[in-house]
Structures are given as C-alpha cells and as structure tokens.
Amino acid sequence: MTATRLGLASLGSLPPASAPRVDPGSLGVGIVHLGIGAFHRAHQAVCTEDAIAAGGGEWGICGVTQRSRAVVDQLGPQDGLYTLIVRDGAAERLRVVGSVREVRWAQADAEGLLERIAAPATRVVTLTVSEKGYHHDPATNRLRSDSPEIAADLADGGTRTVLGQLVAGLDRRRRAHGAPVSIVCCDNLPHNGPVLAGLVREFAARRGGERLLGWLGESVRFPATMVDRITPATTGADRARVAAALGVRDEGAVVTEPFSQWVIEDDFAAERPAWELSGATLTADVRPYEHIKLRMLNGSHSTLAYLGILAGHEFAADAAAPDGPLAALLRCLMMTEVAPTLEVPAGFDLAAYAEEVLHRFANPALRHRLAQICMDGSQKLPQRLLGTIRDRRRAGAEPVIATLGVAAWMRFVSTRRSDRGRGLVVEDPLADQIADRLAGREAPEQVVDALLALRQVFAAELASDAVFRDLLIEHLRRLAADGAEATVRGMTG
Ligand code: CS2
C-alpha cells in the first residue's frame, strides 16, 4: 500500500508527463459544477484544464456532490487532484488533472454552495446529475408533480434538489449584484439547455419569483450541449494501478476511453473558458449532434445493455464483441432504423460514426458493467429509442430492432432475471410504480399494456400505436421462449 496521498504536496514526485497542465495551487474558481461524478472528471474537467492551459482564465472548478459525501472524502484530502486513466486495448495513459479546486457536499454545505453560485467570479455553472436528477417527466419535460423532494424544496425554498439549488443560488446572485451567468447542462437529454431552462422557470414561478423570472430572461443563458465519453465506474484495481504507476494513493481516479466529444451551443451570458481551444465544438445549433449521439450511441448502448444482460453478459465489451450477433444487430439498428430519422450535418460520415461507436463499445480495456447502463431505463428510453420509433412509425415503417430494445427493457424490469436465472436489480426512480403495475401480470400482452400505460415514459401517440404494441408483444414472446441470444441471432441471420 502506497502511503503518500496524491495532493499539491506530492505533485513534485509525479513523472513530468503525468503532471497537471495548469498550476492548481494558483487557480481561482470560476465554474460551479453540480454532480461531480466520474463523468465530469473524465470529460468537462479535462477539457476545462486544457482550455485554461491554452487560453488562460480563472476557470477552476468548485465541484458539488449531491447524494453522498463520498467524492468529498476522495478529493478533499487530495486538494481536488485526481488521475485520469485513458485506456484503449493494451494502451494506457495516466494524467493528473488540476482544474477541480474545491469540493462541496450540497446536503451539508448549502450555504457555501449558494455563495459560490452567487459569487461574481462564477460565470458558468455546469451540471451532470444524470437524467433523473432533474425530477422531470421525460415524456413531457415538466417537473414531476409526485416528487417529494421537489415538493419540499418548493415549500421551503430548500436545496435538496439541483433545481432548488439553482433557483436559490440564482436568486441570491440577482439580489447581490445581478451579474450574468450561464448554466450549462451536460446530461444526455435532448434539448438539455432549453429543458433545464424550462424546469428552472417552472420551479421559480411556483415559488412566486416574479423578479427572478424577469432577471432569468435578461441575464441567464442555458446553452444546450452534447457530451460523449464512455466512463465506467472506477474499481479497486484501477486505483492500485495508479499507485503502481505514479507512486501515490489516489482515491479519486477515473478511467475512460480516448474518444471525447463536446458540442456546445455558443449562447453564453458572460465569459466562458476557451473550450474551442481544447477540442470542443462551439456551434449555433447542437440539435443534429445531440440526435445523432442519443439515438445512435445511447440507443445502441441501452439495446446492448438489456439484451446483453438477459443473455448473461456482465460487461459491455463482451456483449459487443466485433464478430458477435449483438454488434451486427446494433449496426443494423443504427444504419437502417436510426439513420433515416437524423438530420446529418454536411460532411458528417454516419456509417463511419456507427463503426466507431461499435469499436468503442468493444474496447476490452473498459470494464463497463451492463448493469450500470441498464440503470434508470424509464428516464433514458424516450430520448434513446422512443424518438426513433415514433419517427419511423410516422414514416409508416416498422422499427423492429428499436422495439426489440424496448421489449428487452420490459423483460428486464418484469422478470428481473437473466435467461439463465441470475437475479438482476432494477434501479430506476420509477421502480416502485413499475413493480406495482406489473404485480400479477406475466403474459406478454399484460406486461406490454401495463408498461405502455406509464405516461411519464410513453407519450400517448406511441402508447396507442397498435403496430408498436404488436411488435413489443411478439418480441417479448420470442425473448421468453428462445432467450435473448437466440432472438438476436434469429434477427441477424
Ligand atoms: C451510457 C452512457 O450509462 C449509460 O446509460 O449509455 O453513460 C454512455 O456511456 C455515455 O453517454 C457515453 O457518452
């Protein structure tokens, strides 16, 4: 066990190639980030460090953890420093990142968090709180009326939820000095900027914040973004690897792939880091990119995860093996069902993109658990698969593969077992509602009808589509009779 903990004091002992690209000790905070999990540390925090190295600016990050204080314990004693491990097959690069300058736990330090959002030096607030972190219904983009935490924050102006935190922090800022600020959603939601803007306004209106609403319109922008980098949960073996390679103990290390993409709507209320100098694309319209990413990559990822876990796989790379039936199925999903629904920017090679997605899924150095991708399906399916299905149905087509992805989710939440009988855990904010609706229902028609009635997930147009329903029932029958593996083989010939 290596005794020396990574931190400002141990930076001098790092191999020069792994040292931070900025001087963390002298970097002031300019960004508040809500939801400092592995994804933020592997994506925006890295891009921000590179942007500071290339273009300067006081853009250190105050990272805020939401549910548990684990990240405070990991990064606090390390002065915010952590190692980024980039793996591709047998190749590996390690780099210590220095852009995170402080870490706070929202539930224990609401005052510190609100002060940071209000501070004049803060000009950007970014978020990665996952789909469910917004407490909205994905089918309508409205606040969930049944969320007890939202109801509590609305009642007392509290900060249990990110919306409560944003609205209280922005109101404090307005009262203190009113300097403009940009709120940048970095979660895998379609139109994430406008959706977050709508939720913040809805929340503020229900708090009776007339003045705040006026100021939001004048001084706050919500640019939309598309984010992409596969980042599995870190394991003990990854931390041991850092200790062996760098000679320091790092409790905050993250593992990721070489690929990284960030497309940002260039609509900021005030200054921002020079992210375009570090590989990000700043553009007037993010929508084509976000559709491509959510439907091609994430739609395939969810389809892979539900079918793969039913078939008995544990890791994405095994399920997506290049010559295996699932890779063939996903290629077909992307090129024959998703592609016709997309508006593709000039010069963008969609077939090459699809091949790159499959190559990334099959990266054997990423131990990406399918169970991690299976989580929160009710919040993910609408933008990943249901948009494709709706658009294909409107065009009179029968999207058989995308509906198989949805049927696999239905089987996953209804049987909670793999085809070989291994118990599977359904982690989902709607898990209780789903279980209630499914109680006593096992026949494919019953399962399909019970789940199609989840109006937060399936909008009326799809829920009442008889062709969609029939496809789901047929797929569920096949999955029950033959298992996921044979079903996929049967479809890929
Ligand atoms: C994955 C995503 O967990 C999931 O649902 O599909 O986190 C995926 O790895 C990222 O969106 C890749 O950018």
Per-residue pLDDT band for 459 (boundaries 50, 70, 90) equals very high
How far does the centroid of ligand 1 lie from the alpha carbon of residue 299, in Å?
A: 10
- Ligand 1, closest atom to CA 228? 13
Residue 419's identity, in one-letter code, is: D
Encode pLDDT of 23-82 as tens digits: 999 999 999 999 999 999 999 999 999 999 999 999 999 999 998 999 999 999 999 999
| pLDDT above 60: residue 227 | yes
- What is the per-residue pLDDT for 1? 54
Residue 209's identity, in one-letter code, is: G
Strands 181-185 and 124-127: parallel
Q: What are phi and psi of 292, to 5 degrees?
A: -60, -50
Residue 13 three-state SS: helix
Higher pLDDT, 67 or 231: 231
Nearest-CA residue for ligand 1 atom 4 is 373
Encode pLDDT of 251-308 as tens digits: 999 999 999 999 999 999 999 999 999 999 999 999 999 999 999 999 999 999 999 9
How far does the centroid of ligand 1 lie from the alpha carbon of residue 219, in Å?
A: 32
Ligand 1 proximity of 372 Cβ (cutoff 6 Å):
yes
Nearest-CA residue for ligand 1 atom 3 is 373
Q: With contact defined as beta carbons under 8 Å apart, do 242 and 253 qualify?
A: yes
How far does the centroid of ligand 1 lie from the alpha carbon of residue 262, in Å?
A: 14
Q: With contact defined as beta carbons under 8 Å apart, do 358 and 303 qualify?
A: no
Ligand 1 proximity of 373 Cβ (cutoff 6 Å):
yes
| pLDDT above 90: residue 107 | yes
| pLDDT above 60: residue 2 | no
- What is the per-residue pLDDT for 138? 85
Residues sharing a CB contact under 8 Å with residue 76, sequence separation 6 or more, in sequence order: 103
Ligand 1 proximity of 230 Cβ (cutoff 6 Å):
yes
How far does the centroid of ligand 1 lie from the alpha carbon of residue 384, in Å?
A: 11
- What is the per-residue pLDDT for 145? 75
Encode pLDDT of 122-176 as tens digits: 999 999 999 999 999 988 899 997 899 999 999 999 999 999 999 999 999 999 9
Question: Residues of the chain with pLDDT > 70: what percent?
Answer: 100
Ligand 1 proximity of 298 Cβ (cutoff 6 Å):
yes
Higher pLDDT, 139 or 429: 429
How far does the centroid of ligand 1 lie from the alpha carbon of residue 372, in Å?
A: 9
| pLDDT above 80: residue 97 | yes
Ligand 1 proximity of 229 Cβ (cutoff 6 Å):
yes
| pLDDT above 70: residue 195 | yes
Nearest-CA residue for ligand 1 atom 8 is 230
Nearest-CA residue for ligand 1 atom 11 is 228
